[in-house]
Every structure is written in structure tokens, then in C-alpha cells.
Structure 1
Amino acid sequence: MAQTMTAAQAAGHGRAAPGIRLLGWIILALMAAFLINNVLNVGYGTPVLTAALGDMSQAGAIVPIGIYAVCLGIAIAFVLATGSTVLRTDGQRLHRFNLYFIRACFWAVLFVGIADATIAQLRVENLLPMFFSEETTRAMGRSAWVGPYIHMPLVALGFVVALFTRTLGFTWLTLMIVVAELLIVFLRFVFSYEQALMGDLVRYWYAALFLFASAYTLFDEGHVRVDVFYAGFTQRKRGAVNAVGSLFLGITTCAVILVIGLNGKTAIINSPVSNFEITQTGSVGMFIKYQMAAFLAVFAISMIIQFVSYLFEAVADYREEPGHRDHQPIAH
């Protein structure tokens, strides 16, 4: 397990690097502007940046331009205002934010999974009328109602709980997956009872576990690396390789995922999320397919943040600055 450094420990380790810091924060600013513009485009019809630049006379064209200008301005102003901040401090700052973001997402899917599975079970067994009015029972059969009125408050609760916890939630989610799998096997082979929602719940949590944990795995050097040459590199050479890889392979790949997945209302992420899409099992399954599409965006966002943090750390390693984190070798 890597030994992380606090911001206080990292402060003062190395020389100021305004150029690489500016590059990293501009990447994050562009991502933030793209996400904000995407929400406005899908929800309110605001044009995207490329359309606005192509026809400045169209209604709302100034909005995306203003969004990008503000985000870039904030990033540049932040770097200029914190000119003495060293790379490892920025890297740790981004990593801590990413830990909160991932932790919040884990708690959110835990809460949503339990709640939606419970509702689906009551709906399948026609038990909802025993606890709710006829109108509410009908509403709970529509994903367009369950999504905003049940799922979204639970997602918000996950972000609140994440403020007061320090664990990432891997343990809880992994435990719940094991419990769900055991319950499925027990009910299927002992009582010959099976419902579509059981498979939906396991797939939902599995998808969250692997996609959300990817960024933390990157921080802890846990991803598989073809290291025939890398293993023999010096710290300086490893820093150069990691910096180039983060910038031209990692960040660009995740950016492609976001651009393709959020490219208009009919894109592969935007479409299911905006329509609260469900699986073909319909009302007998869980209403969480749209969230599984959103997991791709969460994966790309968290990875871009972590890759920028990794970029800062890699450049600091290349410059042979103090504060390098040693990683325990991981056997693959």
C-alpha cells in the first residue's frame, strides 16, 4: 500500500512549476465547462460550444462561450494566485477531492441499490398498495418518477454521508455484493425463487465497484502495467514515462469517452440518463439502467482528475523533487 503524504508534508517539496500546473488546471477547467454546458444543452437546449462558435447569431450562443471563459479564467487566476504551490501539493489536493467524489458515489449506489431493490420487490409481489396510496403506487411503477423523487435524494444523501466518512466504501459495497450473490443462490436453489431484480442489483453494484475504484487503483499503482522496461527505469525516467502516458494516453482516452458519451441529447450517456431508461424487464426489474450509463461518465471524470494529479506527481518525480511515494510491488 502506498504511503500518502498530507498537503502539509508535501508543501515546500520542490520548486514552483507554473507551466505544468497551468496545463493541468486548464484541462480540469475545460472538463468542468464541458460538463456544465452539456447539462444546459440537454436540459434547456443551450447550444454547445462548437455550434455557438459556428453561428454567433443564434439564441444563447453567448452562454457556452461565457461558461468556458469563466472556467478558464478561474483556473488561470487560481494558478497565478498560488504561484508558490509545488506540484506534489496540487497532486495531493486533487487526489483528496477525488477520494471524496468516489466515496460519495459509492455511498450513493449503496443507498440507491438497497432502496430500489426493495421497491422492485414490493412492486413484483404487488405489496406496494399495502404501504402507499394508489397514486403513489402507480408513480412507483414509472422510472420518470422514481428517478428524480427517490434516486436523486439518495444520491444527494450519499454525498452528504461522504463528508463525514473517511473510508472509500469499497468494503461495504463488496460485502453487499457477496451478500446479494449468496441470497440469490440460496433463494434459487433452496426455494426455486428468482426475480429479475436480483441480477439487476448485482450488475449495478459490480459496475460501480469496478468503474469507481479505477481512479484509486491508479493512485495506488494497482493497474496492470507491461513493465518489461519500466521496472528497470530510474525514478526520473519513470516520471517522464508516467507524465507522457498520463497526458497523451490516459487523459485523452477519458476525454474521448466524455465527448462521445455526452455528444448531444441522443448520445450513449445523455440519452438513457435524460429519459431515466430502464432494462427490457420493465416493472419487474430495477429502474437503474440509466445510472449504469452515468457510471461511464463518473469513471471518465474521476480518471481525468486522477490523471492530472498523477501528471503533477510524475513531473515532480522527473525533476527529482522530494516527497516521492514508494509503492509496494503488486503481483499480476
Structure 2
Amino acid sequence: MATMSGVQNEVSTSGNLPQGAQKSAAPVRTFGWMVLAIMAAFLLNNYLTYWQDMPGVAPLFGGAANGAPAPALSAVQLGLYAIGIILAVVYVQKSKSMTLREDSKRISNINAYLIRAMFFAVLIVGLVDTVISFLRVEDLLVGIVGEEMSSNIGRSHYRGAYIHMPLIALSFVIAAFTRTLGFTWLALLVVVAELLIVVGRFILSYEQAFMADLVRFWYAALFLFASAYTLLEEGHVRVDVFYAGLAPKTRGLVNAAGSLLLGMTLCATILAIGMGGKQNIINAPILSYETTQAGFGLYVKYLMAGFLGVFAVSMMIQFVSYFLDAVADMRGEPGGRDHDSHAVQ
């Protein structure tokens, strides 16, 4: 299966571009990396504020602190944004010879690793949680792990912190040694899981809540995690009545403007609304390890709320990559992708 790291065409070396063109690319590259740095600082501050009970940066601007105000800690958290911006500038200055397309490809590769890790996370967590739920509903778990551990596993905070989180960490390790994005296999697994529900319900007269939860868990991941890859492959729906007849440089202008004004702003809005406070739509379920009302269902509802955050982050990264590639089209740099191809490989 094709991987995100291999779908972009090879670009020419920086030596094939005029020195002036290389210099003029620096502001665009700096902007792209600054966007990613600010997003990373926002996510880190979100963790520090709502998981480690730090006050956040809001008190510095007249807002309410998370807990007791601590101006020094708030200043440190605000400083994370400055550090991120400085690192972005330093990186661009130290890699002046890199072209926009090379930078775009590097950012896509970073995104590919993130999405691979998320795929393995939902795969492994889904399978493990299904086994646990099956053993619980059939009263087999106590005999295997003991009464105390069985009781702990039945609490969402314990299962999330001591089973799900280590499995997610393992997924990032696995993703470092693999190259497949897994969307084809995840789609197949959704079909298999749904088939098992049908067979269990109509042939074996056996159905449990965790079976439907697994289908929803994988189905949501399939669509939200694959969205960035679909953008890279020009697979999203595009009304191209006018776009198809535009010159390559004009297409680059349209893609750059769309990435900046529509794509990045949408992702930023999702993150700001979903993670802007402790009770917001993404933060609240994750912080409480929210589960479904079904007693023996999967304990993954809080992770599904996090899917929206993963979608926004992965799309933001890919929109930055897309923006750099579009500016390269505007500048007439060689090695561009075929924007007439709309099929996901």
C-alpha cells in the first residue's frame, strides 16, 4: 500500500533554483513552521493546564486562572509559544537551502508518522478493550486477573490510565518501524466487526454492547484519521468547474488561499472551541475518561472525543504542507504534484 511519505514526487535539489528564489522562500517556510510551533505550544499548554493543574496563560490577559493564580507559571506557559516561534525561525535559518517542496514533503512525513501511530492505537486499544469487555460480560475476568484487578479494570479512570495510555504509547513505537497507514486494513476490520455482529445476532442469538461500540470506534477513526491523507491525494470533493481550466500558477494561488483562509482557520477553530477550556467538547470527555451508558460496552468514548482533536491537528499539519506546495506552484518551482488526480491511491 502506498504511504504518505511516498506519494509526493521527488523534487529538484535546491541547487537548481536561483539564489534569490531560495531566499524568498524563507518567509513562507517560516510562517508554515510558526503555525505548527504555535499549535504544538497550544497542545502542550492544554496538557499542562488541565492535566497538571497549572494556571494557564489566560490570567496574563485578564482571564480566569485554572485553580490558584500563579503569574510565574503563567509566564512560563506563555513563554512556550515564544520558544516555539524562535525554534521555527532558527530551523528555517539553518536550512536555507531547502526548497518549499522539500519542506512540504518533510511536514507530510511528520503527519504520516502521527497518523500511523493513531491507526495502531485504535487498532490495539479496540481489540484489547473488546477482549476485556467480553471477559467481563461472561464473568471470566475475575478468574483470570483476580477480583481486585477486575474491579479496577471496571473503572474508566483505571482502564484509561493504566491500559489505554500504555497501549497508545506502544503504538507510537510501532509506527516508527512501519510505513503503512493502515486505512485499507481498518476499513476491512470495520466490515469484519459488523459481520460478526450480524452473525452473532441472527445466527447465534448473541449480541453485546461492546460489539457495536467497536464498530463505531473504528468507523470514526477511519474517516477522521484518513482525512489528511485524502487531502494529500486530492481525494476530497472539489467543485472544479473553474479550477480545472486555471493555469498551474493560478491553481497554486487558489490552493494557497484556500489552505490559509479556510483550512487552517477551520482547524484552529476546532482546537480553540474544543480545547479552550476544561469543560469544552474535546477536553471534558477526555479528562473524565467518559464512557457510554452501557455497563459492558467499550471504555473508549473519551478517545472518540479525542478523534476530533486528532483530525484538527493532522489536517492543520497537512494544510501547512499543502500551503507550502501551493506557494511553490505559484513560484513555478519544478516537481509539483498532479492536482488533476482525485483518486486516493
Residue identity matched to 2:59:
A
Residue 320 of structure 1, CA deviation: 0.9
Equivalent-residue separation in structure 2 for 1:137 and 1:48 (angstroms):
37
Cα distance in 1 between the residues matched to 2:88 and 2:105: 17
Tell me the CA shift for residue 249 of structure 1.
0.3
Unaligned stretches of 5+ residues in structure 1: none
Report how many aligned residue pairs link the two structures.
330
Q: TM-score, normalised by structure 2?
A: 0.91
Please list every run of 5 or more consecutive structure 2 residues that lacks an aligned counterpart in the other structure. 64-68
Distance between the aligned counterparts of 1:216 and 1:13, measured in 2? 29
Give the root-mean-square deviation of aligned CA atoms: 1.9
The one-letter code matched in structure 2 to 1:173 is: L
Counterpart in the other structure of 2:27: 19
Question: 1:44 Cα deviation (Å)?
Answer: 2.2
CA contact (8 A) 1:11 1:85 kept: yes
Structure 2 match to 1:108: 121
Instruction: Return the match for 1:31 from 39, 49, 55.
Output: 39
2: CA distance between counterparts of 1:47 and 1:245? 36
CA shift in 2, pair 1:242/1:327, >3 Å: closer
2:314 aligned with 1:302: yes
Match of 2:293 in 1: 280
Please point out which of 134, 144, 163 is paired with 2:176. Answer: 163
Matched, 1:239 2:239: no
**Which residue type is aligned with residue 66 of structure 1?**
G
SS at match of 1:191: coil
Q: How does 1:133-282 map to 2 (within 5 A)?
A: 133-281=146-294
CA 1:83–1:184: 2 relative to 1, 3 Å:
same
Structure 1, 237-246 or 149-158: larger mean CA deviation: 149-158
- Deviations 1:177-225 (CA, angstroms, capped at 9, x unpaired): 1110110000001112111111100000000000000000000000001
Aligned identity (percent) is: 54
CA spacing shift, 1:10–1:267, aligned 2, 3 Å:
farther
| Aligned residues of 1:317 and 1:324 also touching (Cα < 8 A) | yes
| Equivalent residues of 1:246, 1:310 under 8 A apart | yes
1: CA distance, partners of 2:201 / 2:261:
48
The AA in structure 2 aligned to 1:225 is R
8 Å CA contact 2:233, 2:341 repeated in 1? no
* Equivalent residue for 1:312, pick from 320, 324, 338: 324
Q: TM-score, normalised by structure 1?
A: 0.95
Q: Residue 12 of structure 1 contacts residue 86 of structure 1 at CA under 8 Å; is this kept in 2?
A: no
